[in-house]
């Protein structure tokens, strides 16, 4: 897709969009199901006050509530998928808003269940598990509830907290609507005055552009657009943090950090261990910035140079080529994994591929039991987009294997585990590309040579040849390109996300102390944290770097969400290395991890797969992977 012009949603060919019609054929069918669900909610009152009657009644409740949740999940998914691809579409926005209200009402209708289960007593519940076969699968579900029991409130309070859910999503929704639908960025420009449209779907590609003027103006104009609304966005984020603090106190946790980790069954020392290890390894990042500065030949490295291409031979990777490389990279996992993944990307329209106006920023995988695992992204025909596709495919295949194996109650497994599967895919695909760099580079040279020969016979193919020139490269050039992509991913997961996690901890602690959260204080705080990460090697524009928090309209509204990206990439590389080293049963253990879903506590599932995140070792090991990329890059650039 061209960088200069981003098309409206209705100009995107159907085959490049995800198959939302597989959930509901149209809005009318969605609306009919929405109305049916609303009518069924009052029926759950028959269970209220009666879960303690006997095991059979409890089994009936679980069956009825799961059937309702399955249907509601599809209603929610359809609306969110319609909305995220075109946030300016008012009809889709209305569907999405109605769904938020539905989920809040559904939560309120079922809010009595956990207090009643706790009141029954866990010894009695365990006896019921043995006596009633339909309850057997809920053993771990009740074990999780037992861990959280001290923080579950009365039925009336739980109902009230559920009713507040819709209103509490307003801050995040407002932030997202502003930045995805209403925010307008000035175009980037090169030295000749040619313009490049800056949107949520193109900013990633523009940050990797070979022209420094394009990178600079894209970075500046994207940041400036957010700075223009810094007070409004800051008010949204402050509201989100205060809502976290309210929930912490309502559930009687000691802090926002404790609430986030304990409610997800993660030991509290995982977070400080990660931050301590991250800060200890910042010299690796400082060395990388220095290598970049020398390779680019600039007097001072700026933030907009952190993803600048280090060779002139920038590979063009069309979507079809990305599918082939990803499938080749994932072959160690076996034929089923590869065939399912290929069908999803090529035939079943899992992927909403290309940028369009109003499309939500970033990329993600989504899906619920009974649907395909869909992927949203903005593919830009480069290695970075290929890697993003591999990443999101990891999420989707995690959903596929979990939903194939687990009941609804264990279909959710949380970001702590999810980011392992996504980064695992990237690790395997990079390994394949680096091991085959010579073969891939020679193929590209033959392709260009064949096009030149064909041009002698057909001069009108000159434009095709021009588009293929970027494919001609040496093995070293291709290896540099792959390492650049790897460093870009590490930059997000092992630099940006830990820095945002430190920022998130501080703003929550300030809110807990009753201190104000303003746009300027948050800009200054984040700028200070990034300055530590960049060191003396990078010249920072404090305002434009400090506003980075405003560019995360989802992540910072999920209480201590971002640190899990760093733990995820750590576990992923440990698991991938086990397979690449040929350790016995490593593949079977990994596929078992994908199939486990949320059927056990997160750290236990990872331990069975072969990694222990209760120690700093996986994080240290992955920083070792990062350091080896930096070493190899220095060698290649030296040559």
* 3-state secondary structure labels for all residues of 256-294: HHHHHHHCCCCCCCHHHHHHHHHHHCHHHHHHHHHHHHH
Phi, psi torsion values for 150, nearest 5 degrees: -65, -15
State residue 522's pLDDT score.
98
Neighbours of 282 (CB within 10 A): 16
State residue 472's pLDDT score.
62
Task: Give the integer Cα–Cα distance in Å for 310 and 287.
Answer: 16
Q: Which range marks the domain in which residue 52 is found?
A: 9-168
For the record, the structure tokens of 243 come out as 């809502």
Region of 231 please: left (phi>0), alpha (psi -120 to 50) or beta: alpha
Q: pLDDT, tens digit, for every residue of 502-551?
A: 999 999 999 999 999 999 999 999 999 999 999 999 999 999 999 999 99
Q: pLDDT, tens digit, for every residue of 476-509?
A: 999 999 999 999 999 999 999 999 999 999 999 9
Structural domain includes residue 548: no
The verdict on whether 392 is a catalytic residue reads yes
Task: Give the integer Cα–Cα distance in Å for 411 and 65.
Answer: 15
Structural domain includes residue 587: no
**Span 41-65, mean pLDDT?**
97
143 vs 456, more confident? 143
CATH number (domain holding residue 93) = 1.20.140.70
165: number of CA atoms within 13 Å, CB side? 20
Structural domain includes residue 504: no
Position 69 pLDDT exceeds 60: yes
Structural domain includes residue 84: yes
Structural domain includes residue 462: no
Region of 9 please: left (phi>0), alpha (psi -120 to 50) or beta: alpha
How many distinct structural domains can be found in the chain? 1
Mean pLDDT is lowest, of 133-147, 453-467, 625-639, for 453-467
* Chain mean pLDDT for the chain: 92
Task: Give the integer Cα–Cα distance in Å for 149 and 115.
Answer: 8
Mean pLDDT is lowest, of 201-215, 433-447, 571-585, for 433-447
8 A C-beta contact, residue 495 and residue 533: yes
**Span 32-38, mean pLDDT?**
97
Structural domain includes residue 101: yes
User: Percentage of the chain surpassing pLDDT 70?
Assistant: 95
Active site residue: 159, 197, 220, 392, which one? Answer: 392
Structural domain includes residue 549: no
Position 467 pLDDT exceeds 80: no
Q: pLDDT, tens digit, for every residue of 375-397?
A: 999 999 999 999 999 999 999 99
State residue 163's pLDDT score.
86
For the record, the structure tokens of 200 come out as 């949520």
State residue 459's pLDDT score.
45
Neighbours of 161 (CB within 10 A): 18
Residues forming a β-bridge with 539: 302
**Span 127-153, mean pLDDT?**
96
At CA 625, angle to CA 621 and CA 628, rounded to 5? Answer: 130
**Span 233-260, mean pLDDT?**
96
User: Percentage of the chain surpassing pLDDT 90?
Assistant: 85
State residue 587's pLDDT score.
97
> SS3 of 361, please?
coil
8 A C-beta contact, residue 126 and residue 58: no
Tokens 């995220």 map to which residue? 84
State residue 455's pLDDT score.
45
8 A C-beta contact, residue 84 and residue 359: yes
Position 266 pLDDT exceeds 70: yes
**Span 242-252, mean pLDDT?**
95
Position 330 pLDDT exceeds 50: yes
**Span 438-449, mean pLDDT?**
69
Structural domain includes residue 353: no
């Amino acid at each position: 897709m061209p960088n200069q012009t981003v098309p409206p949603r209705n100009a995107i060919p159907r085959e490049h969009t995800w198959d939302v019609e597989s959930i509901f054929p149209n809005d009318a069918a969605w609306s009919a199901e929405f109305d049916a669900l609303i009518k069924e909610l009052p029926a759950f009152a028959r269970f209220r006050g009666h879960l303690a009657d006997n095991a059979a009644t409890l089994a009936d409740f679980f069956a009825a509530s799961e059937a309702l949740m399955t249907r509601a999940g599809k209603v929610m998914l359809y609306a969110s998928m319609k909305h995220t691809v075109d946030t300016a579409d008012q009809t889709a926005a209305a569907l999405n808003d109605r769904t938020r209200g539905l989920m809040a009402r559904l939560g309120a209708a079922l809010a009595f269940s956990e207090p009643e289960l706790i009141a029954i007593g866990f010894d009695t519940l365990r006896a019921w598990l043995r006596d009633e076969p339909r309850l057997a699968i809920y053993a771990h579900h009740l074990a999780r509830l037992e861990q959280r029991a001290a923080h579950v409130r009365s039925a009336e309070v739980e109902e009230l907290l559920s009713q507040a859910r819709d209103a509490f999503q307003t801050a995040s929704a407002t932030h997202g609507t502003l930045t995805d639908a209403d925010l307008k960025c000035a175009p980037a420009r090169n030295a000749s005055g040619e313009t490049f449209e800056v949107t949520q779907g193109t900013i990633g590609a523009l940050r990797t552009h070979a022209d420094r003027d394009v990178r600079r103006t894209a970075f500046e104009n994207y940041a400036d657009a957010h700075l223009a609304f810094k007070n409004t966005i800051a008010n949204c984020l402050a509201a989100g943090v205060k809502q976290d603090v309210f929930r912490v106190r309502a559930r009687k946790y000691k802090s926002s950090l404790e609430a986030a980790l304990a409610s997800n069954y993660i030991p509290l020392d995982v977070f400080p261990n990660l931050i301590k290890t991250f800060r200890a390894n910042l010299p690796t990042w400082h060395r990388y910035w220095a290598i970049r500065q020398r390779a680019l030949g600039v007097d001072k490295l700026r933030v907009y140079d952190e993803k600048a291409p280090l060779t002139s031979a920038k590979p063009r990777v069309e979507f079809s080529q990305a599918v082939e490389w990803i499938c080749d990279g994932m072959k160690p996992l076996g034929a089923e994994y590869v065939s399912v993944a290929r069908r999803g990307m090529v035939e079943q329209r899992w992927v909403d591929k290309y940028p369009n106006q109003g499309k939500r920023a970033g990329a993600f995988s989504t899906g619920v039991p009974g649907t395909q695992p869909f992927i949203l992204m903005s593919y830009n025909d480069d290695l970075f987009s290929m890697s993003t596709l591999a990443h999101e495919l990891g999420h989707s295949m995690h959903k596929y294997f979990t939903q194939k194996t687990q009941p609804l109650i264990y279909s959710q497994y949380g970001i702590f585990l999810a980011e392992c599967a996504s980064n695992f895919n990237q690790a395997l695909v990079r390994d394949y590309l680096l091991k085959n760099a010579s073969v891939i580079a020679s193929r590209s040279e033959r392709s260009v040579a064949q096009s030149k020969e064909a041009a002698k016979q057909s001069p009108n193919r000159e434009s095709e040849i021009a588009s293929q020139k970027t494919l001609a490269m040496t093995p070293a050039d291709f290896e540099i390109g792959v390492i650049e992509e790897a460093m870009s991913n590490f930059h997000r997961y092992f630099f940006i996300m830990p820095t945002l996690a430190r920022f998130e901890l501080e703003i929550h602690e300030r809110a807990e102390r009753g201190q104000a959260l303003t746009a300027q204080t948050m800009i200054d705080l984040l700028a200070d944290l990034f300055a530590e990460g960049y060191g003396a090697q990078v010249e920072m524009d404090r305002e434009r770097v400090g506003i980075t928090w405003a560019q995360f309209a989802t992540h910072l509204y999920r209480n201590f969400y971002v640190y899990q990206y760093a733990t995820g990439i750590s576990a992923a590389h440990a698991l991938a290395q086990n397979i690449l080293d040929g350790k016995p049963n490593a593949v079977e253990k990994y596929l078992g991890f994908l199939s486990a879903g949320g059927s056990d506590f997160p750290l236990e599932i990872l331990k069975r797969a072969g990694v222990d995140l209760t120690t700093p070792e996986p994080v240290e090991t992955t920083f070792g992977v990062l350091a080896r990329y930096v070493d190899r890059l220095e060698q290649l650039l030296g040559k």
